[in-house]
Structure 1
Amino acid sequence: MGAVSSYPARAVVDLAAIRSNVRSLSAHAPSAQVMAVVKADAYGHGLVPSATAAVAGGATWLGAAQVPEALALRAAGLAGPRILTWLYGPGAPLREAVEADVDLSVSAHWAFEEVVTAARAAGRAARVHLKVDTGLGRNGLTASDFAALLPAVLRAEADGAVRLVGVWSHLAFADEPEHPAVRAQEVAFAEAVRLAEDAGARLEVRHLANSAATLTNPSIHYDLVRPGIAVYGLSPVPQLGGPADFGLVPAMTLEAPLVNVKEWPAGAGMSYAHQYVTERDTVIGLVPLGYADGVPRHASGTADAPGGPLLVGGRVLGVAGRVCMDQVVVDLGPGATDRAGDRVELFGTGAGGGPTAEDWARVAGTISYEIVTRIGPRVPRVHVDSEPDARVDAVPSPSAENEVRA
């Protein structure tokens, strides 16, 4: 396995869970195709293995925010699914994307001009999705810019430079389904679609629903839904239900061994600034994961408020003291018999009461998306498959060496 596999921690990713999650998402949106969003190294799960599993689960589209991600998917042999990429600046390798049959989002006039130039250089029509900003206030054409650009896009389509494939947008409050902004964006999006179709656009797909809307708002599933975090088994609306409530299974388990165990006296501080001081004689353990690996420093703990949860020997304990760059300390309790080499689980499926990424998010004051995507590249992703009869090809992740086991 080489040097990377000797790293004393790992993120285990169950590809069967990703396949199962995509099937569940398809069931939530039976009238739509599924685009599995695999940006940010598949939310930290490993780009190519996760994308391959998502396609095996029924995804017919893949979403990659960055052009290099989209090109990496094609280079890895993922030729079947459609791939959309949407976040790029002037001078991006758009010709390579067109040549690789990658769909391109257009969110500004300059971007459309560069797409047309790339298509002509490639000698083939670029597949284009116009993104309209319906109220998120982020990327996308304003309603007036959308209306102004549309005639130029249709002229370029008539000239054979582009094919206007879709219109899309992104919700600002999808995780709050009853928020009035959701309905306002639905109306604005429907108007943009109507404008395009009345102008003669022959759209293949209209897409607005992300993970939260896929699970909670069937009225906007349209032709295509774009789940991201839910593909990896985490709930985008934890206030409404956990993964199991939506038929999802968390795919990633972050684990490491104890690398040191020792007795520690009462009244002694642990870790930087002695934020945690023991109240009695105890046993402490060292876990070789820290903020350089993505463990949030905000999940540090005190004696009164334990930090991020850790499953050790069947019991859930908390980080004791400051999260360090490479390690955290855990108070194992008086008389603990844990030993170096014993497994520690930071988060996983939650089975048996174990901690989850959502538990860490609550302690750190963030969202589960950040917990999984921030896991650093030096932590090996180990891809396993819990379906005994499944056949999985080993495909290295760009971020770490991988192991794929049946």
Structure 2
Amino acid sequence: MDATTADTTAARSATPSRAWAEIDLAALRGNVRALRERAAGAALMAVVKADAYGHGLLPCARAARQAGADWLGTATPEEALALRAAGVGGPVLCWLWTPGGPWREAIEADVDVSVSGMWALREVTDAARAAGRPARVQLKSDTGLGRNGCQPADWPELTAAARAAETEGLIRVTGLWSHFACADEPGHPSVAAQLTAFHEALATAEAAGLRPEVRHMANSPATLTLPEAYFDLVRTGVAMYGISPVPQVGGPADFGLRPVMTLAAHLAHVKRVPGGHGVSYGHSYVTPGETTLALVPLGYADGIPRHASGAGPVLVAGKLRTVAGRVAMDQFVVDLGGDSARVGERAVLFGTGEHGEPTAEDWARAAGTIAYEIVTRIGARVPRLYRDDPEGAGGPGGGGGPEGRSDEPVAGTAYPHPEQGRR
């Protein structure tokens, strides 16, 4: 077997036969660097909650660290502890706690924990006593989002109690923070109101004697559009994965970002059918004439939005197509019209958009949602392939020319991550 044949065989074996999500780690690192440059003077937290927005917790956390991310952010304690169990070091903040959570484990793993009320402060100080070491605590203020966070009326009590616990040696208040409600709507009146409320919360905390390491409020949209919200740290989530949180202002390229995930599948079936042929459940689509139907083996069990039935865009056989009929649990159909395709040929649901394929934003519009949801909902039975090629691949889905019609992935650029089986 010559070297070329060996490379092609290796590439074929690395690509799943049904479907896959290709994750471009070089693009992720480039996005982190671009965001750090935009928020120069502030530290950057790479938010890797929800399995890194569906991209893979550990590979993305490590790539973000390599690109200079100062902090990592998770929602659940389990996510933060998974990072530590895998040997990922550096500051990590975890913010979504419920009573009885693994406070002691987080303290012993040197994870910063977020506290929004007196009940949480009591639990974390009890855990610190049990652990025999102080907890790293960040206090969250509700400046107007109305979710987690301490209300302004209760903030003086919480900050005073936190300072008392700090004096006792039970905690170290490392951060003060809040979260925007409408930063993705630049100019919304709530943005300025929340900034004012956060400044007031900071003043109250300072008066209580707290001197945190970081103060932070800016999420991805604020990082891209609101420099006055940078403070000491910005928290970049969806922007790090190359998705614009403010598509009405600009797409990823306008902010120096590149989408990280490409979702593709191999066609499972191709057939000619006559006109008047019903397609998928309910026959919401009926062929207008004799045509070719192609079956894409992805469905709502894989995270493809059922709301995108009859609307979701797909690149097949070099052209953009639309989902024909309803998205089923495991599959959907596209009508190729007068065109042909081969069984096993690649269909690209979304990617960078640079090769004619749709983007996650296109799917969001088709489904009446946001691109955050499109990438985050891609399910665990879709394997992630990690590419780390600074030059990029030859086409959408990891191979082929600009039309994405090659049946072979580019040899050596896409590979299953060694931790894939533990996702």
Amino acid at match of 1:340: V
Q: What TM-score, normalized by structure 2, do the two folds share?
A: 0.90
Residue 87 of structure 2 is matched in structure 1 by 77
Report whether the alignment pairs 1:353 with 2:362: no
SS at match of 1:21: helix
Residue 117 of structure 2 is matched in structure 1 by 108
CA distance in 1, matches of 2:421, 2:49: 12
Residues 399 and 251 (structure 1 numbering): CA distance in 2 closer, same or farther, change over 3 Å?
A: farther
Deviations 1:45-74 (A, max 9, x none): 000001111111110100000001000001
- On the 8 A contact 2:137/2:174 being kept in 1, the answer is yes
User: Among residues 23, 35, 52, which one is paired with 2:33 in the alignment?
Assistant: 23
Amino acid at match of 1:339: R
User: Among residues 368, 373, 376, which one is paired with 2:371 in the alignment?
Assistant: 368
Residue range with higher mean Cα deviation, 194-203 or 369-378 = 194-203
Give the Å deviation of 1:343: 0.3
- On the 8 A contact 2:385/2:417 being kept in 1, the answer is no
User: Among residues 273, 286, 310, which one is paired with 2:295 in the alignment?
Assistant: 286
Residues 267 and 394 (structure 1 numbering): CA distance in 2 closer, same or farther, change over 3 Å?
A: closer
Report whether the alignment pairs 1:206 with 2:218: no
Report whether the alignment pairs 1:338 with 2:341: yes
Residue 320 of structure 1 is matched in structure 2 by 324
Residues 255 and 44 (structure 1 numbering): CA distance in 2 closer, same or farther, change over 3 Å?
A: same
Give the Å deviation of 1:198: 2.1
SS at match of 2:154: helix
CA distance in 2, matches of 1:344, 1:86: 38
CA distance in 1, matches of 2:171, 2:126: 10
Amino acid at match of 2:94: T
- On the 8 A contact 2:384/2:416 being kept in 1, the answer is no
In structure 1, stretches of 5+ residues that fail to align are 302-306, 401-406
Report whether the alignment pairs 1:197 with 2:206: yes
Give the Å deviation of 1:383: 1.0
Residue 90 of structure 1 is matched in structure 2 by 99
Aligned residue-pair number: 391
CA distance in 1, matches of 2:232, 2:145: 21
- On the 8 A contact 1:235/1:242 being kept in 2, the answer is yes
Residue 58 of structure 2 is matched in structure 1 by 48
Residues 201 and 158 (structure 1 numbering): CA distance in 2 closer, same or farther, change over 3 Å?
A: same
Report whether the alignment pairs 1:11 with 2:18: no
Give the Å deviation of 1:363: 0.5
Report whether the alignment pairs 1:128 with 2:131: no
CA distance in 1, matches of 2:335, 2:42: 49
CA distance in 1, matches of 2:16, 2:212: 50
Give the Å deviation of 1:397: 4.5
CA distance in 2, matches of 1:63, 1:120: 25
Give the Å deviation of 1:337: 2.5
User: Among residues 309, 312, 331, which one is paired with 1:308 in the alignment?
Assistant: 312
In structure 2, stretches of 5+ residues that fail to align are 1-9, 393-412
SS at match of 2:324: coil
CA distance in 1, matches of 2:309, 2:158: 50
Q: What TM-score, normalized by structure 1, do the two folds share?
A: 0.93
Amino acid at match of 2:332: V
CA distance in 1, matches of 2:289, 2:79: 52
Report whether the alignment pairs 1:145 with 2:154: yes
Residue 398 of structure 2 is matched in structure 1 by none
User: Among residues 22, 30, 34, which one is paired with 2:44 in the alignment?
Assistant: 34
SS at match of 2:138: strand
Residue range with higher mean Cα deviation, 198-207 or 288-297 = 198-207
Give the Å deviation of 1:235: 0.2
Deviations 1:281-328 (A, max 9, x none): 100000000000000000001xxxxx2000012210000000000000
Residues 321 and 209 (structure 1 numbering): CA distance in 2 closer, same or farther, change over 3 Å?
A: same
- On the 8 A contact 1:48/1:397 being kept in 2, the answer is no
SS at match of 1:190: helix
- On the 8 A contact 1:47/1:397 being kept in 2, the answer is no
Give the Å deviation of 1:197: 1.2
Give the Å deviation of 1:145: 1.2
- On the 8 A contact 2:315/2:321 being kept in 1, the answer is yes
User: Among residues 247, 270, 277, which one is paired with 2:279 in the alignment?
Assistant: 270
Residue 68 of structure 1 is matched in structure 2 by 78
Percent identity of equivalent pairs: 60
Give the Å deviation of 1:388: 6.3
- On the 8 A contact 2:76/2:96 being kept in 1, the answer is yes
CA distance in 2, matches of 1:20, 1:285: 36
Residue 404 of structure 1 is matched in structure 2 by none
User: Among residues 256, 260, 263, which one is paired with 1:247 in the alignment?
Assistant: 256
CA distance in 1, matches of 2:320, 2:260: 20
